[in-house]
Amino acid sequence: MSCMSEGKVYVEKPASAVISRRTFLKICGVGVAVTALAAYKLTDIVLQRNKYIKLRQRAQYQDDKGVRERYRLAVSHQNPMLKRFYGEFTTHPLSETSELLLHTGYAPRVKTFPMEV
């Protein structure tokens, strides 16, 4: 699979292939029907597309609720293993070990490649 070497490939789709006027009209007729159908379908998609996000969101909050009901853990510091991690290892947030392992820095990429917004 070459994904780097794609270069510029602007392939015109073969709609411009030579077709007779009759065929053209026929295609247009079919096209209208297909478009109407597609428009119907697409409206459906617009109505449906947030459904997935909403259902997944509901599950995410369901997990929050479950964890809080089962283990009484609503806030991060209540995590018993986390307490152990800080107790035995990094000591506290923003400690030296934390800064080394859990923090990072960022650098502009524009130096090497100026981008316009």
Partner 1 sequence: MSVAKVRTFTEPPNARVGSSSFRTGELKGIIHINHRHCVGCDTCTKVCPAGAISGGIGTTHRIEIDRCINCGQCLTNCPFGAIEQMAFIEEVLRKLRDKETLTVAIIAPAVRVAISEEFGAPPGTLTVGRLHKALKEAGFVIYENNFAADQTILEEGTELLGRIAYWLLGLKEFEIEVWGKKIKVGLEHFKHKPLPQFTSCCPGWVRYAELYYPKVLPHLSSCKSPQQMAGASAKTYGALDIWKHDPAKVYTVGIMPCTAKIFEASRPEFCHAQKWLEEHGRLPQRSQRIPDVDAVLTTRDLAALFKKLNINPMRFSEAETPQDFEWYSGGATIFGTSGGVMEAAVRFAFHILSGEEPDALSSAWDFKQVRGYTNPVVEATIQVPLKPAYRELLGSDRFELRVCTVNGIGTDGSHLKPIINDAIAGRSNFHFIEVMTCSGGCLNGGGQPVNPMGTSWIDPLLPLRL
CB of 20 to partner 1, least distance (A): 21
Residue list 22-51, contact with partner 1 (CB under 8 A): 39, 42-51
Given 19, 27, 34, 82, the residue binding partner 1 (CB under 8 A): 82
Residue list 91-110, contact with partner 1 (CB under 8 A): 92-94, 97-98, 100-110
Number of residues that bind partner 1 (CB under 8 A): 79
| Angstrom distance (rounded) from CA 26 to CA 82 | 68
How does DSSP classify residue 115? -
- DSSP track, 15-52: GGS---HHHHHHHHHHHHHHHHHHHHHHHHHHHHHHHH
Q: Are 55 and 61 in contact (CB under 8 A)?
A: no
CB of 8 to partner 1, least distance (A): 7
Neighbouring CB atoms inside 10 A of 88's CB total 8
Which of these segments, 1-9, 18-26, 29-37, binds partner 1 (CB under 8 A)?
1-9
- 17 interacts with partner 1 by CB under 8 A: no
